[in-house]
Amino acid sequence: MEASCSESQKVFAALTTEQMNFQPANGTHTPRWNVEHMMGRQLLFFSQMYHESDDSIPVMDLNPAQMPPDYKFANADWTGAEEARQMKRVSDFSRRFAYLLDGYSVNDKVPGSRWPTLKALLNQMERHYSEHTANTQEKFLLPGWPSKE
């Protein structure tokens, strides 16, 4: 999961604010939505498990809606580099409180998680980062993709 998130950070860190906010004519998500969604899901899933073990840790849901017409970016002026730092902060949070999962095997269902096992969640997060990053990279070839200049 961490390796996949790190690879995603490298891709997004190179994008300008204009590229992050690029709205493809084909109706697919903006690069910024993809970042907000990836980190939002990870933050929610891990904060739910950690909250179950320590209720002083709040459940944090920053996951954006599925691009309704009135959707507003959380940080529309951030460059890809700042969004990548946000993904890193979520990854750091997940690692920082991982001690709360001591005693659980990757084959266990962890209280507070909807996932059947911790391994299933970790595998899904790995796929999730890779999938949404690949979806974003496809946008680089679309008509209207903003140049860096």
Please report how the helices 31-53 and 80-96 are oriented relative to each other, as an axis angle in degrees rounded to 10.
20
pTM of this prediction?
A: 0.92
Mean pLDDT to the nearest integer, 92-110: 97
Per-residue pLDDT tens digits for 1-46: 999 999 999 999 999 999 999 999 988 899 999 999 999 999 999 9
Per-residue pLDDT tens digits for 44-60: 999 999 999 999 999 99
Is the pLDDT assigned to residue 77 strictly greater than 90? yes
DSSP state of 100: G
CA distance 93 to 75: 20
Can you give the pLDDT at residue 148? 81
Can you give the pLDDT at residue 65? 82
CA distance 103 to 32: 37
φ, ψ at 93 (rounded to 5°): -60, -45
DSSP state of 77: T
Is the pLDDT assigned to residue 69 strictly greater than 80? no
Q: How confident is the model at residue 109 (pLDDT cuts 50, 70, 90)?
A: very high
Structure token digits, residue 100: 């709360």
Can you give the pLDDT at residue 70? 74
CA distance 69 to 3: 33
| 3-class DSSP assignment, residue 96 | helix
